[in-house]
């Protein structure tokens, strides 16, 4: 059994004057959401054998905020392939994960993460998958389980979405229409 958890970076500041999208930082709400998601991970006793993340600044800052709330380091491996990757590229990253490890956290960007959930979870599975189709906002966490022994055996429509948590469900002030 393999468990793959996806975390979209927290809300970034579009009004911050940076030359490259790669260098865009989190805004205040994003920093609060990252910390709150870290507390959620701690409260739910979620743990990861391996963490792979985009090296973009907003992802690095999301990880720092999550670690602060979680109370322990995530020690990610930064992989440039994750930056603004398609679902297919993200699946290639997943296929390369260490088979000796059963749980992985992938931290990155949309639309790739949302598309990966939709690719890996069958359409007929109602409920959480339908919620992902509606919206996969910043700092949202999705956990999927796969009945496989090797990461490379994960294929389209082979997963079960067992958890979907948005920051606004933990703290309404982190939802849309709030500053």
3-state secondary structure 105-151: EEEECCCHHHHHHHHHCCCCCCCHHHHHHHCCCCCCEEEEEECCCCH
Rounded to 10 deg, the angle between the 87-95 and 112-120 helix axes is 70
Helix (H, G, I), strand (E, B) or coil at 152: helix
Position 179 in a domain: no
Task: Give the range of the structural domain holding residue 127, as residue numbers without chain letter.
Answer: 2-13+20-173
pTM given for the model: 0.95
For residue 159, the cross-strand partners are 146
Q: Which two tokens stand for residue 154?
A: 């994960």
Give the containing element (helix H, strand E) for 53: strand 50-53
- What is residue 126's predicted lDDT score, i.e. its pLDDT? 65
pLDDT at 58 over 90: yes
CATH assignment of the domain containing 53: 3.40.50.1240
Stretch 62-88: mean pLDDT, rounded? 97
Position 136 in a domain: yes
Q: What is the CA radius of gyration of the chain?
A: 15
State what percent of residues in the chain have pLDDT above 70.
97
Q: pLDDT tens-digit profile of 121-134? A: 998 766 899 999 99
For residue 146, the cross-strand partners are 2, 159
Instruction: Give burial (CB, 10 Å; 0-12/13-18/19+) of 127.
Output: exposed
Helix (H, G, I), strand (E, B) or coil at 84: coil
Q: Which two tokens stand for residue 68?
A: 């602060």
**Domains contained in the chain, number:** 1
pLDDT at 149 over 90: yes
Give the containing element (helix H, strand E) for 162: strand 159-165
């Amino acid at each position: 059994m393999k468990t793959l958890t996806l975390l979209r970076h927290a809300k970034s500041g579009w009004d911050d004057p940076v030359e490259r999208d790669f260098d865009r930082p989190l805004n205040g709400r994003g920093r609060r959401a990252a910390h709150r998601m870290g507390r959620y991970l701690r409260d739910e006793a979620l743990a990861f054998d391996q963490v792979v993340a985009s090296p973009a600044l907003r992802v690095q800052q999301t990880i720092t905020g999550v670690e602060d709330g979680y109370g322990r380091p995530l020690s990610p491996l930064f992989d440039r392939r994750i930056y603004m990757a398609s679902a297919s590229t993200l699946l290639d990253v997943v296929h390369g994960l260490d088979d000796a490890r059963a749980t992985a956290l992938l931290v990155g960007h949309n639309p790739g993460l949302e598309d990966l959930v939709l690719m890996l979870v069958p359409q007929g599975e109602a409920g959480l998958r339908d919620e992902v189709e509606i919206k996969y906002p910043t700092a949202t966490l999705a956990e999927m389980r796969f009945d496989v022994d090797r990461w490379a055996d994960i294929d389209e429509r082979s997963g079960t979405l067992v958890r979907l948590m948005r920051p606004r469900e933990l703290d309404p002030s982190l939802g849309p229409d709030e500053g």
